[in-house]
Each structure stands twice: as structure tokens, then as C-alpha cells.
């Protein structure tokens, strides 16, 4: 898995999408959404008497058309002499945009420039061949299967073997399908598959009988991931489903409150003909859908009240359900989105203060939460009572050492919820601390990836969504890992991808789609088409594509041999 580290080596180069002529100078526009104004943090800085700090937003649509938006500037924005309306004004090459007296000329890039752009862009999969990484992952899976062969009973082993094979076939199928479409950026998927593999191993040693269901869920999650990713290519679709998905999410939560009985103090499950399902997991995805925003929306909808109210409703619903771990995840994701949208630390601090007060109230009203806090950092005082789960998790994690006891040889599996809430300790015991660290590292890597991509994102929407999604995964991880080892209060949330349980897996894979959509290396994501698809008509380009493809292929073969 070390090979994935080089994911970060690949550079994302700025793309040029249009030019603005400011006086004699020509300024390239390198994003689909750019902020114009005189403030230092603007993407394109313009100086002039009438220019506001944040004046206007330039935005490119999926189809390649451009528009300019006025973001409540003092002196307004004018295109060719007519004032820009509230929903923006379309732009054509040669249009003169007047910003508070200063004029700039807009120039869309020509087809040739566009092709040049495309060629300059880093080819994903060039520096690190994903096939080799995937091969390593497959070897890891084979190794895990071998471990299970020793520990599992004969009838169980056949189930485990089929499950691992299915997973292996699935990942290669996805890879091949992507390759056929010339999409070579496969890092995010490999990270997710790595975690899913660990999850499968946990499920295999925990309850082998329910393994088919787990595999079925994995397949379903991957399909959903592909669908979501495909859908996210178009901002227009995204924006149109924003409000409905928000309503749907809240509706699911309300349904949950109304219908479900309490399981272990929290009524977080819905029953559907034998299948239990945790709506809060899916709401996570919808929440990000609804929360992220495009750049001009950031400035046009200055107030966050609607989003604030919506978030409060979600968190309250979760609190009523009694799922405080997830409520906390939502809250921090809310902070990330709120901060990325408003950029105001004051807002974040205010939200934190408000939440702290709410938390104090929750602790006084619900005694069982208070109990969790009193036991926190004192688990060893009551090893067989309130500290039972944490102490056993810590002990199991330590007894695995650095290299682990082997799949199926742990004893933590005998404890309820060890394969979900204490899954970090579970993996540490059976696979060792080293794998435990890799597991956390994989999620951290996703977060770094989101951060790196954020600056070059096509649209603020993708960047915010990716950051929110990775923050969600990080917080979930932190609560799961540090909660089970008594560094944070134990809240009983799942570890992304690894914890057994369907809804969690589905939502994590869907969150991946957000991360994937920010990646704008060529052929890496759904958002950026590979070279030949953009310019299939241009004869000049085709040989280049073929050449590049050939090179990549050769390299792949070469490294396989090595």
C-alpha cells in the first residue's frame, strides 16, 4: 500500500479556461469559478477606484458557456453596457465587462488552446501504475484468505473464499471498465477497496454466516459509487437535486424517529423486511449534497441561515434518536461546510459555543450520556462494568502486537459490537498495529487528497463537498478509534468501510464519489474526460493519444514483470 503514497507526487497543474484583458495585460482564468475583486484572496485581482473587495464571480458551465455574476458589489457589474441581472449574464468572446468603472475584456479560449491545455495536463496513472497497486491489494487479499484458511472451519471457509474471490473480481472489473474508458486514476478506489477488504476480513472472522450479505452490499456500494460519480459530473444535475435530497434526508430521519423502537438506548435503525437499515448513514451523503455550494452562491446567499437551520434540524433529529456519535459527526461536518462557505472563524466559534451549551444540556437531561463522560479516562476502574467494552478493546489491540495474531485468532470477536464499534481494536488484534495504522492512514490519505484537489477544483461545489466528505470520514474514524481506546468518550460510531454493517458501507462509498469528483487530472475522475473524447474530430490529436496510451501500457507491463 506504500505505493499509494506517490499518489501525492502527481501534480495537478492549473488549467487555463479563458482570458481577461485588463488594460494591456492578459490574465488567464484557471478555474471554472473565479472570484474577481481587489482583495488579496481573490483569484483575479483587479485594481481600480470603484472595485469592491469582492466584486464578481466568473463561472463556466458544463457546456463551456461562461457567465458573470454580481456579488452585491458597491458599484455593480455591466456587460457591454447593460447591468448584470441577479441570476448572472452570459459572456461571449470580446464582451467588455465593466466593474465599477474599470473595464476588462473577456476572451474564451480557442479550440487549439483548449487542446494544448489538455495535453499539458498531467496524465494520471503515469507516475504510479494503478495496476501494480491493485495487484498488491490482490496479493494482500490472497494473504488474508490464506489466514482464514487456517482458522475457519471447512464449511465457513468456502463462504469466505467465494466472498474474497468476488471482491477480487469486482475490483478488477471496475479497474478494467475504467481502463476501457481510459480512466487511469484509480487511487481513491484502491484506498476504498483496501479498507473494504479489511472489513470483509473482519466480517469473515466475526460472523461467516452473514458474509454473502456483506459481499452483496459491497457490490451494491461500488455500483452506487459509480452511479453517484457519474451523476456528479454535471453541476446542473447536482444543483437541481440539492433541495430534494435535503428534504429526503430530513424525511428519513423523521421517519426513523416515528417508527423505530430503541435498540441499546438509541433508536437508530429502520427495519425493512428482515433487513435493518440505519438512515442516518445515508443522510450523511444527502447532507453534503445539500450543504456544498458553488462560488457565486457563496457570495450571493450571504447568510447561512437556511443551511444553519437545516443542520440544526438534522442534529436535533439525531439527538432525539439518541445517536450522539453521528450527531457529532454531522456537527463537525457542518463546521467544515460553514467555514468553507463563510470563511468566518467567528461563525465557527459561535457554533462551537452553542453546541457546547447544548451538550451540557444533553448531559444533564440524559443520564446515560453523563455516565459515558464519567467513565471516560477511568475505564480501568471498572473493567467489568462501565469500562467493559473499552478495556477489552484496548487489551485486545495490545495483545495483537505489531504484526497481529492472524485472522480468526483474536478473542475480541466474542464481545458484542466488536466488529463495528471496536473494529480498530479488532483489526489491531488480528492483523496487528501496523495494519491498524495503515487503515487510519488510508483515510488520512483521502483527506490529504481532498485538500490537494480543493485548490484546483472545477467548482467550489466539488471542493467543499470533497472536504466535507473527507472531514466526515475523519471525524467518524476519530470517534471510532479514539472512542474505543478511551482517548475520547465512547460513542459507538462505525469505522469508514471497515465496520461491519450495510448502511455505513453504502454511505462511505457514496462519499467517495464526492472525493472522486474533485480530481481533475486527466482520465482520473468522472469529471474530466480523457483526451480523445474531448477532441475526437481533431486528427492531430489522435496519434498523440495513441502514443500516450501505448506508453502507459508498456510501462504497466514492464513494472509487472519487474
Partner 1 sequence: MKKIRTRALFVLMIAFFVMAGMVWFVREDYLHGRRWAMAFSTFDNEAEGQLLDCNGVPLAAFGKGKRDYSGDYLTRVANYHVTGDFNGMSGTGVLTRFWGSAQDYDFVNGTSVRRHGTVFLGVDAKADNYAYTLLNSSGKGTVMVLNYRTGEVKCLVSCPSADPVDTEREVEDSAYLNRALSATYIPGSTFKLITSAAALESLPDLETMQFTCWGEYDIAGIKITCEEAHGVQTFEQALANSCNCAFAQITVQVGQKRMVQHVTDYGFLSGHTINGIYTSAGNYPLTFVGDPELAWSGIGQSVDQVCPFSMLRYVAAIANDGVLAEPSFLKTAQPEKTTQLVRPDTAARLQQLMRNNVKSHYEQYISFPGLELCAKTGTAETGAGTSHSWFTGFVRSETHPYAFVAVVEEGGYGLWSAGVLVNDLLQFMVNGN
Of the candidates 84, 283, 355, 467, which one interacts with partner 1 according to CB under 8 A?
467
Residues 6+ apart with CB under 8 A from 426: 202, 206, 396, 410, 412, 413, 418, 419
Q: Does 396 bind partner 1 (CB under 8 A)?
A: yes
Q: Which stretch, 91-99, 276-284, 473-481, 529-537, contacts partner 1 (CB under 8 A)?
A: 473-481
Q: Does 1 bind partner 1 (CB under 8 A)?
A: no
Q: Which CB, 172 or 451, lies closer to partner 1?
A: 451
Site string for partner 1, 113-152 (x = CB under 8 A): ----------------------------------------
Strands 77-79 and 82-83, by their bridges, are antiparallel
Alpha-carbon distance of 497 to 434, in angstroms, equals: 18
Q: Does 397 bind partner 1 (CB under 8 A)?
A: yes
Site string for partner 1, 292-331 (x = CB under 8 A): ---x------------------------------------
Site string for partner 1, 481-520 (x = CB under 8 A): xx--x-x---------------------------------
Q: Which stretch, 132-140, 232-240, 271-279, 433-441, contacts partner 1 (CB under 8 A)?
A: 433-441
Within residues 29-88, the interface with partner 1 by CB under 8 A covers 31, 33-35, 41-43
501 Cα distance to chain centroid: 19
Q: Does 200 bind partner 1 (CB under 8 A)?
A: no
Of the candidates 26, 448, 559, 560, which one interacts with partner 1 according to CB under 8 A?
448
Q: Are 253 and 286 in contact (CB under 8 A)?
A: no
Residue 152, helix vs strand vs coil? coil
Of the candidates 53, 455, 533, 547, which one interacts with partner 1 according to CB under 8 A?
455
Residue 126 CB neighbours (<10 A): 16
Q: Please state, in angstroms and as integers, the Cα–Cα distance from residue 300 to each residue in 78, 88, 294, 350, following that order.
A: 17, 11, 10, 22
Grid cell digits, residue 495: 469505522
Q: Please state, in angstroms and as integers, the Cα–Cα distance from residue 240 to each residue in 43, 246, 250, following that order.
A: 27, 11, 17
374-381, long-range: CB < 8 A, 24+ apart: 375/490, 376/486, 376/488, 376/489, 376/490, 377/486, 379/486
Write down the least CB distance from residue 216 to partner 1, Å.
31
Of the candidates 56, 340, 506, 512, which one interacts with partner 1 according to CB under 8 A?
340
Q: Please state, in angstroms and as integers, the Cα–Cα distance from residue 147 to each residue in 133, 151, 208, following that order.
A: 21, 7, 14
Instruction: Identify the residue whose cell numbers are 495513441.
Output: 546
Write down the least CB distance from residue 48 to partner 1, Å.
20
Alpha-carbon distance of 407 to 26, in angstroms, equals: 62
Q: Are 50 and 100 in contact (CB under 8 A)?
A: yes
Alpha-carbon distance of 131 to 558, in angstroms, equals: 11
Write down the least CB distance from residue 43 to partner 1, Å.
5
Site string for partner 1, 343-382 (x = CB under 8 A): x------------------------------------x--
Q: Does 432 bind partner 1 (CB under 8 A)?
A: yes
Give, in degrees to the nearest 5, the angle at Cα 530 between 524 and 535: 160
Residue 14, helix vs strand vs coil? coil
Of the candidates 4, 145, 285, 475, which one interacts with partner 1 according to CB under 8 A?
475
Write down the least CB distance from residue 76 to partner 1, Å.
22
What angle do the packed helices 187-206 and 433-456 form, to 10 degrees?
A: 150
Q: Which of 122, 96, 115 is nearest to 107 (CA)?
A: 96
Write down the least CB distance from residue 348 to partner 1, Å.
8
Grid cell digits, residue 117: 491545455
Of the candidates 172, 339, 376, 417, which one interacts with partner 1 according to CB under 8 A?
339
Write down the least CB distance from residue 365 to partner 1, Å.
28
Binding-site size for partner 1 (CB under 8 A) equals 60
Q: Does 402 bind partner 1 (CB under 8 A)?
A: yes
Backbone φ, ψ for residue 295 (5° rounding) = -60, -45
- Residue 33: beta bridge partners? 59
Q: Does 399 bind partner 1 (CB under 8 A)?
A: yes
Q: Which CB, 256 or 518, lies closer to partner 1?
A: 518
Residues at the site binding partner 1, with contacts judged by CB under 8 A:
31, 33-35, 41-43, 295, 332, 335-336, 339-340, 343, 380, 383, 391-392, 394-405, 411, 429, 432-433, 437, 440, 443-444, 447-448, 450-451, 454-457, 460, 463-464, 467, 470-471, 474-475, 477-478, 481-482, 485, 487
Amino acid at each position: 500500500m506504500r505505493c499509494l503514497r506517490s499518489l501525492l507526487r502527481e501534480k495537478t497543474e492549473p488549467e487555463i479556461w479563458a482570458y481577461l484583458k485588463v488594460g494591456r495585460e492578459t490574465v488567464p482564468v484557471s478555474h471554472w469559478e473565479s472570484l474577481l475583486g481587489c482583495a488579496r484572496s481573490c483569484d483575479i485581482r483587479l485594481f481600480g477606484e470603484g472595485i469592491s473587495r469582492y466584486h464578481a464571480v466568473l463561472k463556466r458551465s458544463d457546456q463551456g458557456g461562461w457567465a458573470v455574476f454580481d456579488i452585491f458589489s458597491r458599484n455593480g457589474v455591466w456587460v457591454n453596457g447593460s447591468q448584470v441581472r441577479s441570476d448572472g449574464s452570459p459572456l461571449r468572446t470580446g464582451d467588455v465587462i465593466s466593474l465599477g468603472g474599470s473595464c476588462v475584456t473577456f476572451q474564451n479560449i480557442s479550440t487549439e488552446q483548449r487542446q494544448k491545455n489538455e495535453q499539458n495536463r498531467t496524465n494520471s496513472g503515469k507516475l504510479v501504475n494503478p495496476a501494480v497497486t491493485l495487484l498488491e491489494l490482490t496479493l494482500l487479499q490472497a494473504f488474508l484468505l490464506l489466514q482464514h484458511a487456517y482458522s475457519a472451519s471447512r464449511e465457513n471457509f468456502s463462504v469466505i473464499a467465494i466472498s474474497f474471490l468476488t471482491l477480487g473480481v469486482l475490483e478488477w472489473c471496475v479497474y478494467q471498465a475504467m481502463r476501457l474508458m481510459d480512466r487511469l486514476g484509480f487511487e481513491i478506489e484502491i484506498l476504498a477497496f483496501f479498507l473494504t477488504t479489511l472489513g470483509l476480513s473482519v466480517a469473515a472472522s466475526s460472523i461467516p454466516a452473514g458474509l454473502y450479505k456483506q459481499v452483496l452490499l459491497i457490490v451494491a456500494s461500488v455500483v452506487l459509487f459509480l452511479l453517484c460519480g457519474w451523476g456528479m459530473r454535471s453541476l446542473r444535475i447536482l444543483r437541481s437535486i440539492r433541495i430534494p435530497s435535503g428534504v429526503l434526508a430530513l424525511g428519513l430521519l423523521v421517519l426513523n424517529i416515528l417508527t423505530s423502537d430503541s435498540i441499546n438506548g438509541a433508536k437508530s435503525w429502520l427495519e425493512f423486511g428482515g433487513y435493518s437499515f440505519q438512515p442516518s448513514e445515508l443522510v450523511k451523503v444527502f447532507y453534503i449534497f445539500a450543504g456544498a455550494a458553488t462560488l457565486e452562491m457563496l457570495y450571493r446567499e450571504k447568510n447561512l441561515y437556511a443551511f444553519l437551520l437545516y443542520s440544526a434540524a438534522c442534529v436535533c433529529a439525531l439527538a432525539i434518536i439518541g445517536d450522539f456519535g453521528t450527531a457529532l459527526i454531522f456537527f463537525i461536518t457542518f463546521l467544515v461546510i460553514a467555514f468553507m462557505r463563510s470563511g468566518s472563524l467567528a461563525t465557527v466559534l459561535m457554533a462551537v459555543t452553542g453546541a457546547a451549551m447544548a451538550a451540557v444540556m444533553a448531559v444533564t437531561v440524559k443520564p446515560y450520556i453523563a455516565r459515558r463522560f464519567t467513565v471516560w479516562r477511568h475505564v480501568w476502574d471498572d473493567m467489568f462494568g462501565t469500562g467493559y467494552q473499552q478495556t477489552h478493546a484496548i487489551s485486545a489491540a495490545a495483545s495483537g502486537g505489531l504484526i497481529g495474531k492472524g485472522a480468526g485468532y483474536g478473542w475480541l470477536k466474542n464481545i458484542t459490537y466488536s466488529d463495528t464499534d471496536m473494529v480498530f481494536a479488532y483489526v489491531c488484534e488480528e492483523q496487528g498495529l501496523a495494519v491498524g495504522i495503515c487503515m487510519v492512514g488510508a483515510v488520512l490519505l483521502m483527506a490529504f487528497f481532498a485538500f490537494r484537489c480543493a485548490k484546483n477544483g472545477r467548482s467550489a461545489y466539488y471542493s467543499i463537498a470533497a472536504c466535507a466528505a473527507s472531514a466526515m470520514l475523519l471525524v467518524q474514524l476519530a470517534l471510532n478509534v479514539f472512542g474505543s481506546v478511551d482517548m475520547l468518550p465512547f460513542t459507538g460510531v462505525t469505522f469508514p468501510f471497515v465496520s461491519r454493517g450495510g448502511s455505513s458501507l453504502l454511505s462511505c462509498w457514496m462519499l467517495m464519489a464526492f472525493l472522486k469528483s474533485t480530481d481533475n487530472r486527466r482520465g482520473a475522475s468522472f469529471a474530466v474526460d480523457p483526451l480523445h473524447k474531448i477532441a475526437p474530430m481533431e486528427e492531430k490529436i489522435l496519434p498523440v493519444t495513441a502514443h500516450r496510451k501505448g506508453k502507459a501500457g508498456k510501462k504497466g507491463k514492464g513494472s509487472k514483470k519487474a
